[in-house]
Structure 1
Amino acid sequence: MNSKIKVLMVEDSVSLSAIYMAYLEGTDYDLVTAETLSSAHAALGAFKPDIVLLDIELPDGNGLDFLTATTALENPPKVIVMTAYGTSDMAVDAIRKGAFDFLTKPFDAARLIVTLDNAAAQMTLGKQAQALAKLERDSYCKFIGKSLAMQSVYKTIDSLAPSDATAFIVGESGTGKELAAEAIHQQSPRRGAEFIAINCGAIPGELMESELFGHVKGAFTGASANRDGAACIADGGTLFLDEICEMGLDLQKKLLRFIQTGSFRKVGSNTLEQVDVRFVCATNRNPIVEVSEGRFREDLFYRLHVVPVSMPPLRERENDVLMIANHFLRQFSTASGKSFEGFSEDAAVAIQRYPWPGNIRQLQNTMQQVVVLNDGPLVDVQTLPGSITTGALGISKTRAIESPAPSTIAAKLVALEESHLARREQIEPLWLTEKKAIVAAIAACESNINRAAGLLEIAPSTLYRKLQSWKKAEA
């Protein structure tokens, strides 16, 4: 044991107390004695024992009343009842009221120490279990889920948020990348300032610079007044650049300078402005591929890619899918005045087996559809959209035949999922399709790059850059 275990002995016999104290000399137990229930109650608050050795027959009452009082505490000690009047009924009553063990007098040193060691071991295990329970969270900020994959995300955000290090969030569409960015902001010292999000893929390229840095009156057609951009508004807070790989190369250069210096100029202005922002960015693409293909600046990537945060797809989050489905079901049911209470066994199997390619966003939309189009109290397989259960059931709406067993449903859903995966594997990545088209054009033009670029309607420099990037990737 690394530290002394505190033991309170409630015993009215002074001679027995002396014997038990002698038993524990040289051990890792710190012993305090009390001769009455009143003094025991006082010691309980002042000494805060880990273990109590409790006599039953005491001058001012019954020890079992003290046992009941200890079990009501927030962190109750382990209580070992000891009495010379022990019977099997009394032992059962003591254990039923929360006693850890029962000692019948007289007992020797070995018996006492073994019992105390067992209680100490149980106490240690209990503390470890409490610590693990605190680490294993069912939810975090706006996230729902207790899978190992999400525990890793929570831990990463806990470590990352207090610093000003740039977070680079990657993950499929619908996995909660913006929720992760918001969590980083809310767990950081900047939580009192603004969290500003810009979707780099949703804003036209010609307007993106103005959205980011702002503009002055007359900077371009339609600029009828001065306007602050996201950089100004997020001063002191967090600037979240979603779908960062969609940003054009020209603006990437200006963004890099902004990140390096903290300064920028509004569109149409010569005035240099300085702000203090924390950067968080996200993408559903593979940033390494984007860099190698020349669509994302390498220097900007390494400036932003400080602490990566990988958001797991829903299919890799174990039983989280059912927790999240229940959350959305309750949310939409309340909003719509419906009475949904949960899922049938078959529906739960279907939801857990489906691969959810659209991740949480798809699950959210599905639950809203279920609530809007149906009534409760339970969601069954017939209530779920056909895209979730296609090929899994052969049931008519009239339920003329019995539902197949859940194991049959699961087998069919697994086959359906494998079919989906096989079809997805046949889809060729866009960059590979582009590469094949370029290689074919160059071959048709007998290696004349300029002619091939003209036929492809792209700049020769773009063609040379792509060829060079492929050579580096293959080297």
Structure 2
Amino acid sequence: MSATTRAAGAEGRPRAATGNVDASRPRPILLIEDTPSLQMVYRSVLASAGHRVAVAGTAAEGLTRFRESLPNVVLLDLMLPDRDGLDLMQDMLRLRPETNVIVITANGSINKAVEAMRAGAHEFLVKPFDEQRFLGAVENASVAREVRAPRRPPPEPTPVNGAFLGSSEAMARIHAKIRSAARSMATVFITGESGTGKELCALAVHDTSPRASGPFIALNCGAIPQDLLESEVFGHVKGSFTGAIADKPGAAAAADGGTLFLDEICEMAPALQTKLLRFLQTSMVQPVGATRPRKVNVRIVCATNRDPLDAVRRGQFREDLYYRLYVVPIHMPPLRERGNDVIEIAEAALARFAAEEGREFIGLDAEVKARFRRHSWPGNVRQVLNVIRNIVVLNDGGLVTMRMLPDAFTDQMAAPEELARRIEPAPSEPSLDALIGLTLAEIEQIVIEATIARHGGSVPKAARVLDVSPSTLYRKREAWKD
């Protein structure tokens, strides 16, 4: 009896991927790379480290090798001659969701990295990289797979319950609204501060809907240059503009049969808002340079960290598009309004990151819990995860105490007020004098932090006052930590 037959009998259902795998031998790492010289280099490095390697040079060959060897770890080049690497990755993960895929590409853009991670990649490597970084990524993927596989829980009967952590009344209302909205085709409009989980909310709507088996395509309208956004949404044909070296379907066509999530929708240029409105009315997609449109079946979920009605009043967002999209509103509450949820999120993140890093942590002590409850968490859930990750990486384990908290976090408790005081006018001199002698970068930091402090720690509110995108402020603050 084959390994596949035994697995089917044990689980009570046939396996999606097939292959004759010797259970007594470790499964090989699958390397999918179309450049022969790089194939040789990667294979030699992996073999020297004691790994078995299966190699493929095309997407078609890679999928065949994947079905044959059922690897736990896949090294995948995104630029393949016969198919887009992200599409291949999604096929492999549908066949075997527990596989850890390390994406390799020469394109180090943030957008491509985010797209790969959202699509299910375990890690992202940008060429060129050194041997230590390469082997470290492979070892981490292998260890993560070994830690995770025995503990893989059965799927939840109601996926929305697992989409967010937190048992507060605010989150209970969110869960109930998602269940109601998911059954319909109505457009869902998610609002909330950055880091509150708007994309998780969109994914929960998708996973709880009849479209759960279809694609979920996420596009951040604020992270893509305006001159490229139309191509990203609606696609383009080869030769339609400089750099269009091949046909590209676009996010709307890629989401056919599933859900298209448009994040930071209020950052979309007015000209593209008009085309989006037409798409919502007709369900017709016409790529840049194409002569004929085609019909797609897509559900739209959008999100913003701004007040969309305020954007309408300012003339930054079309009123007719607002009323077309704002059908089922869901507001994600900031973490400071969710009571004890911050402790649940922190403890779950501690367990997850500790498993990934091979550390033994037993929880948070009472003083840390009290500090977490008092903190305003301007970065919301994203900030909690960053703080916990820092703790796990820089400490060996045990009970998390106050001394383990990162300096940037403890400094943040007082820094905004201190910065605000620095630009308060002194009794005998104008406030401008307090800035003389500082660099332009230092003045920028003082003004930004003081503005955030004067708006209760709200980055989106400060961004509106400073007339910049909230993502710009988050990037600057992350850079200041380094």
Match of 2:143 in 1: none
Contact kept in structure 2, 1:216 and 1:227, CA below 8 Å? yes
The equivalences for 1:349-368 within 5 A come to 349-368=370-389
Cα distance, 1:385 vs structure 2: 1.9
Match of 2:405 in 1: 384
Match of 1:296 in 2: 317
Distance 1:139 1:188 in 2: 10
Distance 2:339 2:244 in 1: 51
The change in CA–CA distance for 1:371 and 1:266 in structure 2 (over 3 A counts) is same
Cα distance, 1:188 vs structure 2: 0.3
Distance 1:213 1:172 in 2: 28
Which residue of the other structure, out of 346, 363, 368, is the alignment partner of 1:342? Answer: 363
The equivalences for 1:75-154 within 5 A come to 140-154=161-175
The aligned amino acid for 1:272 is: P
Distance 1:181 1:152 in 2: 15
Contact kept in structure 2, 1:147 and 1:317, CA below 8 Å? yes
The aligned amino acid for 2:170 is: A
The aligned amino acid for 1:177 is: K
Is 1:237–2:258 an aligned residue pair? yes
Distance 2:456 2:366 in 1: 31
Match of 1:53 in 2: none
Q: Deviations over 1:253-291 (max 9, x none)?
A: 000000011012110011011101000000000101111
| Structure 2 counterpart SS, 1:377 | strand
Is 1:324–2:383 an aligned residue pair? no
The aligned amino acid for 2:166 is: G
The equivalences for 1:164-313 within 5 A come to 164-313=185-334
Contact kept in structure 2, 1:350 and 1:388, CA below 8 Å? no
The aligned amino acid for 1:364 is: L
Distance 1:344 1:421 in 2: 30
The aligned amino acid for 1:216 is: V
* Larger Rg belongs to: 1
Distance 2:265 2:453 in 1: 30
The change in CA–CA distance for 1:391 and 1:356 in structure 2 (over 3 A counts) is closer
Match of 2:135 in 1: none
The change in CA–CA distance for 1:139 and 1:195 in structure 2 (over 3 A counts) is closer
Cα distance, 1:169 vs structure 2: 0.0
The change in CA–CA distance for 1:312 and 1:272 in structure 2 (over 3 A counts) is same
The change in CA–CA distance for 1:240 and 1:391 in structure 2 (over 3 A counts) is closer
Q: Deviations over 1:365-388 (max 9, x none)?
A: 000001111122110011112344
| Structure 2 counterpart SS, 1:219 | coil
Q: Deviations over 1:97-150 (max 9, x none)?
A: xxxxxxxxxxxxxxxxxxxxxxxxxxxxxxxxxxxxxxxx99823211100000
The change in CA–CA distance for 1:422 and 1:217 in structure 2 (over 3 A counts) is closer
Cα distance, 1:421 vs structure 2: 8.2
The equivalences for 1:29-48 within 5 A come to none
The change in CA–CA distance for 1:241 and 1:348 in structure 2 (over 3 A counts) is same
**TM-score of the two chains, using structure 1 as the length reference:** 0.55
Contact kept in structure 1, 2:160 and 2:179, CA below 8 Å? no
The aligned amino acid for 1:382 is: R
Q: Deviations over 1:179-227 (max 9, x none)?
A: 0000000000000110100000011111111111111111001111211
Give 5+ residue unaligned stretches, structure 2: 1-157, 415-449, 468-482
Distance 2:161 2:331 in 1: 16
The aligned amino acid for 1:314 is: L
Give 5+ residue unaligned stretches, structure 1: 1-136, 394-418, 435-475
Distance 2:316 2:454 in 1: 28
| Structure 1 counterpart SS, 2:372 | helix
| Percent identical | 52
Contact kept in structure 2, 1:351 and 1:388, CA below 8 Å? no
Cα distance, 1:335 vs structure 2: 0.9
Cα distance, 1:345 vs structure 2: 1.0
The aligned amino acid for 1:165 is: A
Distance 1:432 1:316 in 2: 23
The aligned amino acid for 1:232 is: A
Match of 1:333 in 2: 354
| Structure 1 counterpart SS, 2:361 | coil
Distance 1:318 1:138 in 2: 23
Contact kept in structure 1, 2:452 and 2:462, CA below 8 Å? no
**TM-score of the two chains, using structure 2 as the length reference:** 0.54
Distance 1:425 1:354 in 2: 12
Contact kept in structure 1, 2:159 and 2:208, CA below 8 Å? no
Contact kept in structure 2, 1:350 and 1:389, CA below 8 Å? no
Q: Deviations over 1:144-164 (max 9, x none)?
A: 110000000000001000000
Distance 2:393 2:181 in 1: 40
The aligned amino acid for 1:188 is: S
Contact kept in structure 2, 1:338 and 1:375, CA below 8 Å? yes
Match of 1:423 in 2: 454
Match of 1:160 in 2: 181
Match of 2:84 in 1: none
| Structure 1 counterpart SS, 2:396 | coil
The change in CA–CA distance for 1:425 and 1:391 in structure 2 (over 3 A counts) is closer
Q: Deviations over 1:155-178 (max 9, x none)?
A: 000100000000000000000000
The change in CA–CA distance for 1:392 and 1:270 in structure 2 (over 3 A counts) is closer
Distance 2:202 2:160 in 1: 16
Contact kept in structure 1, 2:376 and 2:457, CA below 8 Å? no
Bigger mean CA deviation after superposition, 180-189 or 349-358: 349-358
Distance 1:226 1:288 in 2: 37
Contact kept in structure 1, 2:231 and 2:288, CA below 8 Å? yes
Aligned length: 273
Cα distance, 1:430 vs structure 2: 5.8
